Structure 1
Amino acid sequence: MSNNQLTAVSLFTGAGGMDVGFERAGIKVVFANELMKEAAQTYRANHPNSLMVNDDIHNIMDSLDQYEGADLVFGGPPCQGFSVAGKMDPDDDRSKLIFTFLDVVERVKPRAFVMENVKALGILEKWEPVRKKYLDRARALGYYCMPFILNATEFNVSQKRERVFFIGIKNGNDPFFEYNMTNLLEEQKKKAPTVRELLHSLGRAGTESNPNTCTAKITFATQPIMRKSPYAGMYFNGQGRPINVDDYANTLPASMGGNKTPFVDEDYLYGSATEDWVVAYHKGLMDGTITPEFEEAPTRLRRITVNEAIRIQTFPDDYVFCGNKGRIYTQIGNAVPCNMAEAVAKAVVEYLKEHSTEGEA
């Protein structure tokens, strides 16, 4: 397929964040699969030329044989079983889906595959047996595979989101694969803007360009867990934390929509305030001049909107999301940031150009 556009099969597609990145790298997605109904609807709304099958991946295995010979298989299987934020249960059925991903690779026999997952799967000693089993299986299928730990902030994403990308090359016999792929990924690096720089043009929440979408109240914790940084610790109830708009957001969770939604100081981000309200509050807690009480925070503190979350995940501003607000926040939080996926895709495409496996059985 070296003279034609590269083709790909997309698995565990979600709303299509990874697909946006791969398409930007010049890859045509010929098949996509997603279990969540609303995410599949979102995908179809934005990728009308790709086939999206909304079903359990185990139900559609046989239909994938027709895509044998596609150049790439990519996707991010559900990661809750391996996530530090989750229960880290290797027996969680979702943990087995990384091997289902390889079942598809076995059928499609692509020139390369890219599987995204949480950083823990790539580095934690606890998951070493799972990693070994995965890499051994990939090797048995004829792929040289390595895990690469990447931070989204280095790839033009204003979010501290570290992930592992397992990249496999068919019939790979390059003794310097890790070195060469690392260099290609380095070439794709681009410093991300701060959250302020990224969001400022949207304007205040409640305007036409930035509708208010999360009304979950922000209340003070009566027994705060203190840290040196105003943006660490737990000074507010719920798991939604303040975002330092002069830096990068922490990982946006799939559980956004209620009190797990991160928040910003509206007046500091979009108005004339010269200091984030959270900084002064934290200082008062630290020096004892403020005694925490259970009450609502000032209205200038508010949860991030859907449009702000879309930007932080580097989806296009006009990307259409389907479902209720909670489902939309979930789709955004579950996604691989588009810019990060684009960087990985471009590095893999370049590697395939430089180390062609065409014609090798």
Structure 2
Amino acid sequence: MKKSQKIDKELTAISLFSGAGGLDVGFELAGFNSVFANEFDHDAAEAWRLNRPSKSHIMVEGDIKDHITDLDKFNDIDVLFGGPPCQGFSVAGKMDPNDERSQMVWLFMEAVGKTHPKVFVMENVAALGLLDKWENVRKGIVKKGEDLGYEVSFRVHHTSEYGVPEKRDRVIFIGVRKDVGAVDQFYKKLTAYKAKPQTAREVILSAGRFGEKDNPQTCTANVSLAKNPVMRRSPYAGMLVNGAGRPIDLDDIAPTLPASMGGNKTPIVDEIALHNANIPNWFKQYHTDLINGKAEPTKIKIPATIRRLTVKECAAIQTFPAGYKFSGRKTKQYKQIGNAVPCRFAEAVAKSVYDAYWG
């Protein structure tokens, strides 16, 4: 990636709905220094602190509603960024407009009004940016920003276009204070950060050999064949196994990693195919045999080399820096990773913000 130019003035930021710090990684790499951060979940807040020991006091843990007045003391902030909870908007959830988590976008906009940053960046699931169901929410966010003195725009981005080895689409709302510049400046800079992602095989192998000290097994959920498999054209779709975790096509980018990983929703790896690109994935042959009526799920035993992704491998897919730490039980660590903004995409966004308005 192109590096941002060094400037004399330290750029300041506020991080809301911080999670374990995926967006923060991007803005830190772009040269922004957070002066306030907030996260509701204890383990996620602790992960944020673990990776920023010198700034641990900046993380204010708790409901943002209880800390919104803390923002009154901040002014002349350069950037406010965050990813309000997305479950209320996600197609993977109930898509309930009355879901309390759906209301967090308005608290984010209230924070914009309090701190009046030069630029704000709000991330969420692609559904918020695409579905007719959420049109009024989108219009409301844009209007609120405009009323506060910003030019506001939103687009859905394929994070894989920015080097993220994962099928993850996200909407980014960006607001630029009208005395600072125009939104188009951001989009023009963003194209410079497009990059080809690694394959799932390449990124999983980069995490180290499975089962060893540097990449221990962290998900022990059994992989068992579905008695009545749901078939699709691809062996990596449908429901060939019990649970929502599906086999990974190692020659493609990884599927979207859900926050519900840690059990049988954790994606599945063929360890033999992982280390031998000329050997087909076990599920590929199984899928073919099912189509041809040559396989009976109740009579087939899955090889012992079929296993689930580790925490470290998931973190690598989400492009967290090597050695990044997570907190709490293993299921909580998977959740922190699945909820995060991929760090490489966050870096592309943050550096484009810098290049557009400070570069």
Check whether TM > 0.5: yes
What residue is the counterpart of 2:147 in the other structure? Answer: 140
Identity within the alignment, %: 49
CA deviations on 1:240-270 (whole Å, 9 max, x unpaired) are 1111111111110000000011111011113
- For structure 1, which segment, 198-207 or 323-332, has the greater mean C-alpha deviation from structure 2 after superposition? 198-207
What residue is the counterpart of 2:125 in the other structure? Answer: 118
Tell whether the 8 Å contact from 1:257 to 1:325 is kept in structure 2 after alignment.
Answer: yes
**Shift of the alpha carbon at 1:227?**
1.0
What residue is the counterpart of 1:358 in the other structure? Answer: none
Tell whether the 8 Å contact from 2:174 to 2:183 is kept in structure 1 after alignment.
Answer: no
CA distance in 1, matches of 2:183, 2:42: 38
Question: Residue 261 of structure 2: which of 250, 256, 263 is its match?
Answer: 256
Q: Aligned ranges for residues 34-183 of structure 1 at < 5 Å? A: 34-50=39-55, 51-171=58-178, 177-178=183-184, 180-183=185-188
What residue is the counterpart of 2:287 in the other structure? Answer: 282
Tell whether the 8 Å contact from 2:155 to 2:173 is kept in structure 1 after alignment.
Answer: yes
Amino acid aligned to 1:130: V
CA deviations on 1:215-235 (whole Å, 9 max, x unpaired) are 000111122111111111111
Unaligned runs of 5+ in 1: 355-361
Secondary structure of 2:215 counterpart: coil
CA deviations on 1:50-92 (whole Å, 9 max, x unpaired) are 3101111011111111122110000000000000011111110
CA distance in 2, matches of 1:296, 1:135: 54
**Shift of the alpha carbon at 1:149?**
1.1
Amino acid aligned to 2:256: T
- For structure 1, which segment, 51-60 or 182-191, has the greater mean C-alpha deviation from structure 2 after superposition? 182-191
Unaligned runs of 5+ in 2: 1-6
CA distance in 2, matches of 1:97, 1:336: 17
CA distance in 2, matches of 1:177, 1:310: 31
| In the alignment, structure 1 residue 199 sits paired with structure 2 residue 171 | no
- For structure 1, which segment, 164-173 or 341-350, has the greater mean C-alpha deviation from structure 2 after superposition? 164-173
Secondary structure of 2:344 counterpart: helix
The two structures have a TM-score, normalised by structure 2, of 0.94
What residue is the counterpart of 2:321 in the other structure? Answer: 316
CA distance in 2, matches of 1:201, 1:44: 25
**Shift of the alpha carbon at 1:293?**
2.1
What residue is the counterpart of 1:304 in the other structure? Answer: 309
CA distance in 2, matches of 1:303, 1:29: 35
Query: How big is the alpha-carbon RMSD for the aligned residues of Structure 1 and Structure 2?
Result: 1.6
CA distance in 1, matches of 2:287, 2:39: 43
Secondary structure of 2:298 counterpart: coil
Amino acid aligned to 2:201: R
| In the alignment, structure 1 residue 211 sits paired with structure 2 residue 216 | yes
CA distance in 2, matches of 1:93, 1:224: 36
Q: Aligned ranges for residues 7-26 of structure 1 at < 5 Å? A: 7-26=12-31
